[in-house]
Chain A
Amino acid sequence: WLAVVVRDEEGRRRFHGAFTGGFSAGFYNTAGSKEGWTPQTFTSSRKSRAEHKKQSIYNFLDEEDIKDMGGNALETSQQYDTFGFTAAEHARKQASKEQNERPSAIPGPVPDELVVPATTSIGVKLLMKMGWHQGRTIKDAHADSLYESRREARKAFLALSGVSNDEDQDQIASQKSRVDENVAESFNKISASGNTPVYVLHPKEDLHGLGFDPFKHAPEFKDRKRSHKSVNRDRNRSDVSVRGSLLISNSGQYAPGFGIGALEELGVEDEDIYASGFNYEQTEVDIEPSKTSGDSKFKLEDKKRGFFLSFKIASNSEYKLERFHPPEIPADFDGRHKFSSPIQTADKFSDLAPPEVPPPEDTTLRLLIEGCAAMVARCGKHIEDFYKEKSKASPQFLFLDGGDGCSYYTRKLWEHQQKFIDRQRPGAVKSKPSSDKLTAENRGTILGEKPLDRSSKSSSSFVSAKEAVQLQSNLGDTFVKPISLDGVPESKKPFRNEPAKQARFEQFLKEKYQGGLRIASLAPTITMSDADRARERLDFEAAADAIEKGKEYKAIDPLSILGLPGLNEQRFVSSTQLESSAVLQDERPMYPQREEFEWRPSPILCKRFDIVDPFMGKPMPLRRPISKMDTLMFMTESTKKINEDVRGSSTIPQNAAVSGTEETEAQETANNPDIVASRMQRPVDLYKAIFSDDSDDDMDEPLNNQQVDPVKTSEGANMALNRLVAEDFLESLGKELGLEVPPEKPAQPPNVLFRSEILPTADASVSRNGQTSTFREIKENEGSLGLMEAANGNGDDPSSNVEKLDFKYEHSADIGRSHSLHRQIRNGSPESDTSIERHRSRKRRSHHRNRSPTPDSGSSDERRSSKKRKSHSRHRAGRSRTPDGDLSSDSQRNKRKRREKRSHQTRMSDSDSSDHEYKEKYTSSSRRSSDKDRSRKHSKHRSW
């Protein structure tokens, strides 16, 4: 670099600004001088994006260069090549060139369509998709589609004709003779929808730019070219003569079998100048004027000939709109519908009610007449005819033919018919879906009828004389008080209007007050919806209660005793009314109600109020999602324990006496809020709690009497669960309906369930339902498990993902450390190099330990003792399992033994390491798989 100092005329150095070149801008600081160029000033495009300049080559050329370029700098532009003709044409040319060069199986030129690459522009493609073809106007037309089909057909025909060119000639000719005039007409129409041919005097037939003349400097070639064209034309004409009129518009260049449409103009591009088989003649013909005329002539000829010989338009289209005459209205139509059946007949019968006739003296005859009348009324007139036919001989049936007792018969028949109609009508009503709640009896009571006895149903059938007698008595009975249905007193039949319901109610009563085997569910109950069933059950409960009460007051009207005036009417009362009345009745005396919950003031609030924080700065337990199923989740002991810690520490300000351990624990938790948080989020899976039964208990001797049978437990839990769900549902339903819920527990407002701050959330909500003895047992078992798990945080849970596990592992180690000095030392000891094998054995052990449920009564003392028990059991189990083929080294075994001798506190690190293994093993395990895995292991272990 030469340190040349450039100075201007006055001897100054030009300075161009610190960032734009300084003292050496441009070539030897020539920037801005006469010799140098001026740099473009930088303009940020940020503010003036639109003004961003495009560089063009002219920016870099001086006049000389531009002159060299010839003055007219041309640029290619694809802008106006709307249909991509240029590109397509180019490709086509290229293809034909190539085709000429290579030998082809097909003699002659390969049809262009075959070789043209798909270079149509997107516009064309779209148009094609919409049914457009080149050379057509873009215009919708029914005619277009017609044209289209014609063209297709034509093409096919041409192909045919091309193949069997010679022998088909005469056939074609014959077809030609059958040209219809219609075709020509429609063809005219069609051609109108095609591109309007524009005849230019001197049509531009090349692809050069407008005004561009390639033969500008060589006029001799121009002539040559022209002559070549004329040759083509001539050849076309000769083709026409060769092939006849059929293919007249086709260029001869095309291979037989492929044609273009008749109306498609022959473009220059369609011609194959390289086609072989013809010699070029150089004839000078001025074609220009004749060409156009020739073209038009061809067209005319085409039209005249009408060459779609075999495809003609049907003279009458199938799509013709068919018209019908309006229906003729009969002269006697009055626009009103007449109902033919029962009503009419009823009317008819009522109209001509035959006079009351005394029955004939002969009883047998009377019975016969009655039975016959009943039968006829039921089955119809033809029965009567049948009887007549049959009993011509017998004198007994003379009444049918107007003999003795005929009038009595007609009278009876009328009565029966009347009755039959009456019976039919409510049946018809009943069949309607909307009124299915109304039974016939119901309706009867509404209409004020006296119910008939059941047996009267058979009355109308003609069975025997004796029954017929009974029938009569029954008829008389219609106006007599019916026999009480069963021995059941009236008061026990609150649903006597609905027999089905009454039956169910009786069943319900039986279930309630009597023991014994019975079918699980009544068939009709199944058809009811859940809500209906629940409501009905509530009804039943109330009714049963009322009956119990009502036993003392037999004399009084049962319904009024029942105190359920709306038992049946209830449906017709608006629900809000009911609810409000229920509320008023039931809940008012209960106010004011008092409930207490845990509440956590924020530490800063306590500080501002000058009050010691009752929770010592421990965070709130995590809020649980509010859902009903959630209350069925078990809380782990861990959460419980924390709450206890909390409680313990909250008593600190008041009770001076606090145990040291508690305090340390409290402090510990206070110091490690993270631990607490990690402990919080572990509700034990319901599934796990129930189904991971502890069948390896058989390894342990039962520890004491309190040991719960695991099978029982899980069964009990299942049952409890089901009942819980069911009862919960029922209860909520009852509340919704505003009915009294069978009082098994004190009513509580629903919000109790979902209080996050409440200490024993799960406990409270569970015990709320009062069915939870077994349930709670499980929970306590779980709790005792959880005790250990609580200490090591989320230690034993493989379900959490690995990162979490890792994290928790550390924390649990932390806890362990602070929990006892002993452990602290151990944790730091170099036992961390445990082999997988040892891990596994340990894990097995820890599993085992965790699986053994020990009932826990809850107090810390007992729990401690139970811990000891458990650790003992662990030792036992461990010893019993020693010969199970551990491959670990002697030293390790020794170590293990040592460990086993240690107190229960050591289990911390045990399960920690098992954690560790989990972490190793289930690096990417989903909860499910890990669970499965775990159970598998579990079973394996069991089999040992």
Chain B
Amino acid sequence: SLSLSPKKKGGSPTPEPSARGRTKEMSSAAQQLPRTESRTLSGHEGAVLAVRFNHDGKYCLSCGKDRTVRLWNPHTGAHVKTYKSHGREVRDVNASSDNAKLVSCGGDKQIFYWDVASGKVIRKFRGHNSEVNSVKFNEHNTVVLSAGYDRSVRAFDCRSQSSDPIQTIDTFQDSVMSVNVTNTEIIAGSVDGTVRTFDIRMGRETVDNLGHPVNCISLSNDRNCLLANCLDSTVRLLDKNSGEMLQEYKGHICKSFKMDCCLTNDDAFVIGGSEDGFVFFWELVDAPIVATFRAHSSVVLFPCHQRHLSPNKDLHVDVICRWDHSCLDLKIEIADVCYPY
């Protein structure tokens, strides 16, 4: 049947010739940032809450309030598969690095462990006492980490038959919004204003108190910096090792939504959404807004940026999903600029 990685042809989107031409002309990287919508993925019947690329960037996963997880080929716009089993809204989804498994979580307090090809639920991990905000696979796809509203981060073992967590971290004071995993660390951001890094190798917990509720944590590609989107409309860049704040990025609006933020592949720019429908790009070092564009008519929840590694060219894709209160236009819109770098 269907597996994410090799079979489905990665139908590399035919980039707009004009865009290509433009990128060739333009020397500045900032001007190469995506600004236009290249495609719309429609199909969700409710607000889209999260969009994630798979490991190699050929596919993307979206989930939302219609209680489904959907698999797309963003490059062709094809809707590949729908995963239905959740009883409540799906808040986050993540694909394993071998593209064989999915993990998703949401309002039904359980974490669903899917088989990508068959679309069946392999296991449901239980243990959270309330809604689960975020899930991630670890590097070896052996552990699923989840962050929940019950102020805990829980680790579930994919290899055992047990559905109970193998570890519960409950030092948080408030809802944990986002969790990230590196080789040796678990990083989680919480509404209590802290970013906590749990170093498994050292057995240390490092607490960085930012003083403002942390919505989203993302890591730089060199794994040395943390990007934290705080609810005071500020994105903060932290040095992971020292805990120093390196930079603050402002200009957008983020006061009440859980919104993602991320860095571009080359760590040159910070991308963030805004509640007024704009997507913001900041230059990493000096934090000026280098580019903004209006992507949606309402809140941009989820700027998602992923490297596309096709054999002969590098693609740069931004996917922005949105929360539309009117529920009239529920689409994932892809702003796609392809340029070689």
State the A residues within 8 Å of B (CB). 587-588, 590-602, 604-606, 608-612, 614-615, 650, 653, 749, 751, 755, 757
Contact = CB atoms under 8 A, between A and B. Distances in A.
A591 B203 contact: no
Interface in B141-186: 142-143, 155, 157, 159, 166-167, 169, 171, 173, 183-184
A592 B211 CA distance: 7
B232 to A, nearest CB: 11
A609 B138 CA distance: 8
Nearest to A597: B205
A595 B142 contact: no
A749 B138 contact: no
A592 B184 contact: no
Contacts of A587: 211
B167 A602 contact: yes
A614 B209 contact: no
- Could you say which of A587, A593, A594 has the most chain B C-beta atoms within 10 Å of its C-beta? A594
A406 B51 CA distance: 102
Interface stretch (B26-34, B194-202, B312-320): B194-202
A653 B206 CA distance: 20
A605 B166 contact: yes
A592 B204 contact: no
Given A592-B243, A602-B167, A751-B173, A609 B200 contact: yes
B160 to A, nearest CB: 8
Given A595-B209, A608-B159, 16 more contacts: A587-B211, A592-B211, A592-B238, A592-B243, A592-B244, A594-B206, A594-B242, A598-B204, A599-B169, A601-B203, A604-B166, A605-B143, A605-B166, A609-B143, A650-B203, A755-B171
Contacts of A653: 201
Contacts of A749: 209
B210 interface: yes
B140 interface: yes
B290 interface: no
Contacts of A751: 171, 173
A757 B209 contact: no
Contacts of B198: 599, 601
A610 B140 contact: yes
A464 to B, nearest CB: 70
A598 B201 CA distance: 12
Contact of B201 (A594, A597, A614, A757): A614
A611 B203 CA distance: 11
B97 to A, nearest CB: 14
Contacts of B204: 596-599
Contacts of B201: 611-612, 614, 653
B30 to A, nearest CB: 28
A97 to B, nearest CB: 80
B209 A593 contact: yes
Contacts of A594: 206-209, 242-243
B140 A757 contact: no
B167 A601 contact: yes
A620 to B, nearest CB: 11
Contacts of A597: 171, 204-207
Nearest to A751: B173
11 contacts: A592-B244, A594-B243, A599-B199, A599-B203, A600-B203, A602-B155, A604-B157, A605-B167, A609-B143, A614-B202, A653-B201
B289 interface: no
Interface residues of B, number: 35
Given A591-B209, A595-B207, A614-B202, A609 B140 contact: yes
B186 to A, nearest CB: 9
B245 interface: yes
- Could you say which of A601, A602, A749 has the most chain B C-beta atoms within 10 Å of its C-beta? A601
Contacts of A588: 211
Contacts, number: 98
A598 B242 CA distance: 17
Closest 3 CB pairs of A and B: A594-B243, A599-B205, A614-B203
Interface of B: 138-140, 142-143, 155, 157, 159, 166-167, 169, 171, 173, 183-184, 198-211, 236, 238, 242-245
B282 to A, nearest CB: 19
Nearest to B173: A751
Given A608-B157, A608-B159, A611-B184, A601 B209 contact: no
Contacts of B138: 608-609
Contacts of A593: 207-209, 243
B207 A596 contact: yes
Nearest to A588: B211
Contacts of B202: 614, 650
A605 B140 CA distance: 12
Contacts of B238: 592
Nearest to B183: A609
B13 to A, nearest CB: 36
- Could you say which of A587, A592, A599, A606 has the most chain B C-beta atoms within 10 Å of its C-beta? A592
A745 B209 CA distance: 18
A2 B214 CA distance: 95
A842 B203 CA distance: 43
A591 B207 contact: no
A605 B238 CA distance: 26
Given A600-B203, A615-B203, A592 B245 contact: yes
Nearest to A614: B203
A757 B199 CA distance: 14
B43 to A, nearest CB: 35
Contacts of A611: 184, 200-201
A394 B229 CA distance: 97
- Could you say which of B201, B211, B243 has the most chain A C-beta atoms within 10 Å of its C-beta? B201
Contacts of B205: 596-599, 757
Contacts of A600: 203
Contacts of B159: 608
Nearest to A653: B201
A602 B173 CA distance: 21
A602 B166 contact: yes
A592 to B, nearest CB: 5
B245 A591 contact: yes
A566 to B, nearest CB: 24
A484 to B, nearest CB: 46
A592 B245 CA distance: 7
Contacts of B139: 609
Given A596-B204, A598-B204, A599-B203, A608 B209 contact: no
A748 B244 CA distance: 18
A531 B219 CA distance: 47
Nearest to B172: A751
Nearest to B193: A591
Contacts of B140: 608-610
Contact of B143 (A608, A615, A650, A757): A608
A600 to B, nearest CB: 6
A612 B200 CA distance: 9
A603 to B, nearest CB: 9
A764 to B, nearest CB: 14
A588 B212 CA distance: 10
A604 B140 CA distance: 14
A653 B203 CA distance: 12
A595 B206 contact: yes
A595 B209 CA distance: 8
A598 B204 CA distance: 5
A596 B166 CA distance: 23
B187 to A, nearest CB: 13
Nearest to B166: A604
Nearest to B242: A594
Contacts of A591: 209-211, 245
Nearest to A603: B166
B138 to A, nearest CB: 6
B190 to A, nearest CB: 12
A359 B107 CA distance: 93
Contacts of B242: 594
B233 to A, nearest CB: 15
Contacts of B169: 599
Given A610-B140, A614-B201, A592 B208 contact: yes
